[in-house]
Amino acid sequence: MLYKQWDKTGDRISILGFGAMRLPVLEKDPTKIDENKAISMIRKAIDKGVNYLDTAWPYHDGQSEPLCGKVMKDGYRDKVFIATKMPSWEIESLEDLDRILDQQLERLEVEYIDYYLLHTLTHEYWTKYKNINYKKFVKKAKESGKIRHFGFSFHDDRDLFKEILDDFDWDFVQIQLNYLDENYQAGMTGAEYAFSRGIPVIVMEPLRGGMLASTPPTGIQEIINTAEEKKTPAEWALRYIWDKPEVSLILSGMSLDEQMEENIQIASNAAAGHLSEKDRLLVNKMKDFYLKKIRVNCTNCRYCLPCPSNVYIPELFWAYNHDAIFDDFGKAKFWTTGFIPEDQRASKCVDCGLCESHCPQKIPIRKHLKRIVELYESDD
């Protein structure tokens, strides 16, 4: 296992972290974690060098934090840095922050949390945290010893990411990044900005929810077969992100011992700068193959925003393209009708056309929004 020294926090942390969000379950029910398998797998990972365990309030319908509490018994608390997150959607007042943090300490059965995040920051949640003076909560939680280090996970546009980063002396940040999403949300631009500020960057979704690790289409396998050194699709995707010096840690939500073993093996020799120029070109070929399948050539420049009707155009197009690339209707429907608030969905478009007048790519945005409504908002 390779490690990085985080100068900002003083901790030496494995470059692979265990994300406790896709644990083995019973009866295909995400609320019923197979505790014996999950505890055994996570402890094996810790024994092999993983020392960062990431959970959150909603994972496994609230069962992940208690499970991680059980993992840390029998001396394992001293072997890991535990991370969890404040559920932003549950917050209305400063008192809510204190109350939920105390509940999480009870769930985890710990006296303090090493790495604590504001979960899923967006414009809406960020405004809420500023209005209730989140800094007062941080100061109190640190002084009381309940949290050691404070950061946030992010799911919005680059300008907001920079605004948030500049608002506070953050100890670390967490963003989505993989070889298909370098220009999505904070993206590499955000990672580079955080790195320039000396702030450790944690990467989530390095395999795009497992899509970049699954059995690849024929075209991708043909590209992989041209490599001198054979690697699995997951290994190419992980190594591509670990190759970047801006990345301090990759989180992987592992469900099987086999996944855990493979990821740890990869993390044993995946230092930044380890890929050759040929390797990087190969990954870019895979990226180009996938991107040729997209439905709309949106570069996430966000010139279409703000929409007068509040439609979240770039995020809708990301989901629309994800479906086309991976044949993943389920995630696209969840993203467009679940993750995206109702007042920002495609069906809120009033056909004014202002977005199209601003789009550098000359995308027929309204036509695609109508198709998104047909595909994902229809009950048929």
Pick from 245, 268, 284: which residue ends a domain?
284
**pLDDT at site 294:** 84
Residue 301 lies in a domain: no
Residue 298 lies in a domain: no
Average of per-residue pLDDT across 97-118: 98
Query: Is pLDDT above 80 for 351?
Result: yes
* Banded model confidence at residue 66, pLDDT cuts 50, 70, 90: very high
Pick from 245, 267, 284: which residue ends a domain?
284
**pLDDT at site 302:** 75
What are the phi and psi torsion angles at 249 (to 5°)?
A: -155, 140
* Element containing residue 373 per DSSP (H, E): none
CA 162 to chain centre: 17
pLDDT tens digits, 86-100:
999 999 999 999 999
Q: Domain check: are 136 and 84 in the same one?
A: yes
State pTM to two decimals.
0.85
Q: In whole angstroms, how far apart are CA 153 and each of 90, 282, 303?
A: 16, 30, 24
Question: Can you give the residue range of the structural domain that contains 160?
Answer: 3-284
Lowest mean pLDDT among 63-72, 98-107, 301-310: 301-310
**């997951």: which residue's tokens?**
234
Average of per-residue pLDDT across 293-322: 87
Q: Domain check: are 240 and 354 in the same one?
A: no
Query: Is pLDDT above 60 for 380?
Result: no
Q: In whole angstroms, how far apart are CA 379 and each of 14, 330, 333?
A: 46, 14, 11
The span from the CA of 97 to the CA of 79, in Å, is: 27
Query: Number of structural domains, the chain?
Result: 2
**pLDDT at site 30:** 80
**pLDDT at site 211:** 76
Residue 10 lies in a domain: yes
**pLDDT at site 82:** 98
Q: Domain check: are 55 and 101 in the same one?
A: yes
Find out whether 12 and 249 touch, Cβ atoms under 8 Å.
no
Q: Domain check: are 258 and 195 in the same one?
A: yes
pLDDT tens digits, 239-268:
999 999 999 999 999 989 999 999 999 999
CATH number, domain with residue 48:
3.20.20.100
Q: Domain check: are 180 and 227 in the same one?
A: yes
Q: Domain check: are 276 and 323 in the same one?
A: no
Q: Is 172 helix (H, G, I), strand (E, B) or coil?
A: strand
- CA angle centred on 147, ends 248 and 158, rounded to 5°: 45
Q: Domain check: are 166 and 260 in the same one?
A: yes
User: Which residues sit opposite 26 in a β-bridge?
Assistant: 29
* Banded model confidence at residue 371, pLDDT cuts 50, 70, 90: very high
Pick from 239, 267, 284: which residue ends a domain?
284
**pLDDT at site 105:** 98
Q: Residue 324: which residues within 8 A CB-CB, separation 6 or more?
A: 293, 294, 295
The span from the CA of 56 to the CA of 79, in Å, is: 19
Residue 296 lies in a domain: no
Residue 297 lies in a domain: no
Query: Is pLDDT above 90 for 55?
Result: yes
Residue 89 lies in a domain: yes
Q: Domain check: are 274 and 322 in the same one?
A: no
Q: Domain check: are 337 and 240 in the same one?
A: no
Q: Domain check: are 320 and 174 in the same one?
A: no
Q: Domain check: are 97 and 242 in the same one?
A: yes
Residue 295 lies in a domain: no
Residue 153 lies in a domain: yes
User: Which residues sit opposite 118 in a β-bridge?
Assistant: 86, 152
Q: Domain check: are 73 and 214 in the same one?
A: yes
